[in-house]
């Protein structure tokens, strides 16, 4: 519809709209919120923005014998309320998710309750008005809200991951509704995330994480980079984050915090290494929480007096009483997002099983060929 | 106004279903019982106790234990082919988590389709997950056994008691006349 049409008052058949909503809801084809009705003609606009074959498989969960095709991705994107021009982002998001190790092994059936979490870089952010500045995790921006939701609806509808049935998340987390943020490249003192990863600044890139939670770091109190890095590390090294031996984190720095580090001469690697060095606990602190050893069979953390326990990796190191809770410096990832109005950043806790991965995310360029 | 059909976002209807159980035998006499352990706590003991009882009381020839390398997904093709070649019936479990309960039911369905009468065992708190897996596998009526939760934290005597409680259902699913 053109601007002139949209500016006029609109009349609709509310009963017919409600009927379509009830139809989708009655079949369980929603996340609980109303969805946008999709027909072949509305779907055609989505398939027209890509030259990918509608039957091409973007992501498959082999043990469910289910596949996300381009066509099904488009139907669910339309259902989620995406505009057709968002669809290339959704395609790249599914491809990034396909590169992640846990989703195709069934992690979204798991009690752990993780969520897909998408980060978008590059010029596409401006083209589709994808928010990266202010209230990044909150609502209010159609591109962010519906691109993340397109993934969730695809999980529910195509892979049958309905809560209480195939999705056995004990609590889940709010990001499951939708989690898609842009990097605030324009207010970052550093190179954008995708450029660090070998893409051109002019490329648009989607990065997928599998996450457990988003924690806020209230830090408007200091101009000292060492104090600030300690504030982050203290939150990341909480024992409740640990399933297996290690944890991983994405630091989503607001421009003010990024500038504080950069003005002190710190690169992203300096921040990364400083956090990595501080994410340690004493053996006694882990023992107090009953997480000072690991299971023989599953490698989950448990108390050292448990019959299935064996020593963790740190026990065999030169400093057995100082336990590193991150396996690699790259277990700390860093990006910039949020408003440039306060020192309130966040730590996204990235789901980390055993063995830990050095690089805890997967990126795909938007619009790349199959 | 153009009226059009609303589209199905699942793609489910395009898949073929196969809800046929393997052929049953009336007796376990002389048969080899496969036990497929998914590595979850107490699974080995429960499966062995059931297998031993099938041998002692129902005349099975013996048991063979196999172990999955990851509890969250069904057994790999090579392991499944080996088991199909080496046993006559199979007991597998215990699916006591979100992904492993569904994987256990998927195993059960795949072994049935490969011709092996199979009892898949989940914990009863994950019964719904097992049912949902049977649905996506195109075998909505697939019958499996749900052991009482909690299971992972039981001691040896309690595991044995659960095995004895399971027995009538195991025999029923296998189609054996007790």
> How close B113 comes to chain A (CA, Å)?
14
Q: Which of B98, B126, B153 to mutate to test the interface with A (most CBs of A within 10 A)?
A: B98
**Can you give the pLDDT at residue B146?**
96
Interface touch A38/B7, C-beta < 8 Å:
yes
> How close A154 comes to chain B (CA, Å)?
8
Assess whether pLDDT exceeds 70 at residue B60: yes
- pTM summary value: 0.91
Residue B6: list chain A partners with CB under 8 A.
Answer: 20, 23-24, 37-39
Q: Which of A109, A150, A155, A157 to mutate to test the interface with B (most CBs of B within 10 A)?
A: A109
Q: Give the C-alpha separation, A334 to A250, whole Å.
A: 6
Residue whose token pair is 């017919």: A16
pLDDT confidence tier of residue B19, bands split at 50, 70 and 90: confident
Interface touch A63/B41, C-beta < 8 Å:
no
**Can you give the pLDDT at residue A157?**
97
Q: Give the C-alpha separation, A300 to A312, whole Å.
A: 10
Of A23, A66, A106, the CB nearest to B72: A106
Q: What are B's interface residues with A at a Cβ cutoff of 8 A?
A: 2, 4-12, 15, 39, 41, 70, 72-74, 97-99, 101-103, 106, 126, 128-129, 131-133, 135-138
Of B39, B70, B132, the CB nearest to A162: B132
Residue whose token pair is 């109303």: A34
Residue A154: list chain B partners with CB under 8 A.
Answer: 9
Is the Cβ–Cβ distance between A130 and A124 less than 8 Å? yes
Average of per-residue pLDDT across A46-72: 96
Q: Give the C-alpha separation, A222 to A241, whole Å.
A: 26
Q: Which ranges of A50-184 does DSSP label H, i.e. alpha helix?
A: 70-80, 87-99, 124-127, 142-158
- How many other β-carbons are positioned within 10 Å of the β-carbon of residue A201? 12
> How close B76 comes to chain A (CA, Å)?
10
Residue whose token pair is 């700390």: A332
**Can you give the pLDDT at residue A334?**
98
> How close B102 comes to chain A (CA, Å)?
7
Assess whether pLDDT exceeds 80 at residue B97: yes
Residue whose token pair is 């989708």: A24
Assess whether pLDDT exceeds 60 at residue B15: no
* % chain A with pLDDT above 70: 99
Q: Which of A160, A300, A308 to mutate to test the interface with B (most CBs of B within 10 A)?
A: A160
**Can you give the pLDDT at residue A50?**
97
Interface touch B132/A79, C-beta < 8 Å:
no
Is the Cβ–Cβ distance between A204 and A122 less than 8 Å? yes
Tell me what percent of chain A is helix, strand and coil, each rounded to the nearest 5. 40, 20, 45
pLDDT tens digits along A251-268: 999 999 999 999 999 999
**Can you give the pLDDT at residue B13?**
66
Average model confidence (pLDDT) across chain A: 96
Whether residue A355 has a cis bond before it, omega within 30° of 0: yes
pLDDT tens digits along A291-308: 999 998 788 999 999 888
> How close A159 comes to chain B (CA, Å)?
8
Burial status of residue A168 (CB atoms within 10 A of its CB: 0-12, 13-18, 19 or more):
buried
Q: What strands, in cross-sheet order, belong to the sheet with B32-37?
A: B62-67, B32-37, B89-95, B118-123, B145-147
Q: Give the C-alpha separation, A275 to A324, whole Å.
A: 11
Q: Minimal Cα distance from B109: which residue of A?
A: A63
Assess whether pLDDT exceeds 60 at residue A370: no
> How close B97 comes to chain A (CA, Å)?
7
Is the Cβ–Cβ distance between B122 and B129 less than 8 Å? yes
Q: Give the C-alpha separation, A317 to B27, whole Å.
A: 56
> How close A72 comes to chain B (CA, Å)?
6
Interface touch B98/A168, C-beta < 8 Å:
yes
Phi, psi of A46 (to 5 degrees): -75, -45
Q: Minimal Cα distance from B3: which residue of A?
A: A39
Which tokens hold the place of A123? Answer: 């010029």
**Can you give the pLDDT at residue A264?**
98
Q: Give the C-alpha separation, B62 to A14, whole Å.
A: 67
Q: Give the C-alpha separation, A236 to A275, whole Å.
A: 9
- DSSP bridge partners of A208: A118, A362
**Can you give the pLDDT at residue A102?**
96
* % chain A with pLDDT above 90: 94
Q: Give the C-alpha separation, A94 to B22, whole Å.
A: 37
**Can you give the pLDDT at residue A369?**
65
Average of per-residue pLDDT across A43-54: 97
Is the Cβ–Cβ distance between A234 and A317 less than 8 Å? no
Q: Give me the sign of the Cα torsion angle B160, B103, A24, A172.
A: positive
Assess whether pLDDT exceeds 80 at residue A77: yes
Is the Cβ–Cβ distance between A120 and A63 less than 8 Å? no
Interface touch B15/A65, C-beta < 8 Å:
yes
Average of per-residue pLDDT across A189-215: 98
Interface touch A24/B6, C-beta < 8 Å:
yes
Phi, psi of B155 (to 5 degrees): -90, 175
Q: What are A's interface residues with B at a Cβ cutoff of 8 A?
A: 20, 23-24, 29, 37-41, 43, 62-67, 69, 72, 75-76, 79, 105-107, 109-112, 153-154, 157-160, 162, 164-169, 297-298, 308
Assess whether pLDDT exceeds 80 at residue B17: no
Of B5, B74, B135, the CB nearest to A160: B135
Q: Give the C-alpha separation, A339 to A348, whole Å.
A: 17
Return the higher-pLDDT residue of B153 and A146: A146
Interface touch B101/A168, C-beta < 8 Å:
yes
Q: Which of A65, A166, A303, A355 to mutate to test the interface with B (most CBs of B within 10 A)?
A: A166
- DSSP bridge partners of B89: B33
**Can you give the pLDDT at residue B177?**
75
Q: Give the C-alpha separation, B102 to B132, whole Å.
A: 8
């Amino acid at each position: 519809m053109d601007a002139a049409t949209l500016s006029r008052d609109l009349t609709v058949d509310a009963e017919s709209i409600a009927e379509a909503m009830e139809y989708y809801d009655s079949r369980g084809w929603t996340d609980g919120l109303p969805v946008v009705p999709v027909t072949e003609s509305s779907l055609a606009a989505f398939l027209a923005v890509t030259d990918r074959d509608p039957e091409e498989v973007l992501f498959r969960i082999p043990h469910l014998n289910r596949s996300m095709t381009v066509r099904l991705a488009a139907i669910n994107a339309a259902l989620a309320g995406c505009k057709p021009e968002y669809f290339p982002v959704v395609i790249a998001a599914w491809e990034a998710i396909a590169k992640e190790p846990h989703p195709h092994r069934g992690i979204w059936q798991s009690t752990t309750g993780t969520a897909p979490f998408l980060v978008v870089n590059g010029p596409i952010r401006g083209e589709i008005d994808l928010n990266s500045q202010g209230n990044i995790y909150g609502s209010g921006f159609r591109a962010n809200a519906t691109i993340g939701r397109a993934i969730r609806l695809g999980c529910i509808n195509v892979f049958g991951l309905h809560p209480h049935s195939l999705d056995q998340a004990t609590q889940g987390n709010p990001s499951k509704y939708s989690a898609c943020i842009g990097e605030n490249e324009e207010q970052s003192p550093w190179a954008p995330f995708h450029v660090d990863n070998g893409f051109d600044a002019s490329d648009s890139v989607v990065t997928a994480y599998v996450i457990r939670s988003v924690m806020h770091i209230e830090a408007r109190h200091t101009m000292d980079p060492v104090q600030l890095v300690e504030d982050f590390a203290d939150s990341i090294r909480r024992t409740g984050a640990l399933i297996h031996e290690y944890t991983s984190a994405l630091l989503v720095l607001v421009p003010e915090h990024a500038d504080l580090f950069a003005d002190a001469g710190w690169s992203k690697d300096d921040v990364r290494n400083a956090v990595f060095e501080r994410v340690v606990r004493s053996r006694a602190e882990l023992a107090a929480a009953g997480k000072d050893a690991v299971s023989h069979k599953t490698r989950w953390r448990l108390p050292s007096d448990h019959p299935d326990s064996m020593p963790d990796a740190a026990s065999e190191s030169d400093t057995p009483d100082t336990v590193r809770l991150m396996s690699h410096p790259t277990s700390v990832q860093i990006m910039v997002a949020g408003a440039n109005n306060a020192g309130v950043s966040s730590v996204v806790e990235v789901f980390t099983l055993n063995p830990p991965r050095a690089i805890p995310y997967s990126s795909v360029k938007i619009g790349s060929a199959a | 106004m153009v009226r059009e059909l609303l589209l199905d976002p699942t793609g489910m209807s395009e898949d073929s279903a196969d809800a046929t159980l393997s052929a049953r035998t009336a007796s376990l006499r002389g048969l080899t019982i496969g036990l497929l352990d998914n590595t979850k706590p107490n699974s080995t003991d429960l499966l062995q106790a059931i297998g031993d009882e099938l041998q002692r009381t129902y005349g099975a020839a013996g048991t063979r234990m196999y172990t999955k390398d990851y509890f969250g997904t069904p057994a790999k093709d090579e392991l499944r082919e080996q088991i199909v070649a080496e046993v006559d019936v199979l007991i597998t479990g215990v699916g006591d988590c979100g992904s492993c309960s569904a994987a256990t039911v998927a195993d059960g369905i795949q072994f049935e389709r490969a011709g092996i009468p199979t009892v898949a065992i989940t914990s009863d708190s994950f019964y719904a997950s097992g049912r949902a897996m049977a649905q996506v596998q195109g075998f909505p009526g697939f019958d499996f056994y749900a052991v009482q939760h909690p299971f992972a934290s039981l001691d040896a005597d309690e595991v044995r008691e659960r095995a004895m409680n399971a027995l009538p259902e195991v025999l029923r699913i296998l189609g054996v006349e007790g």
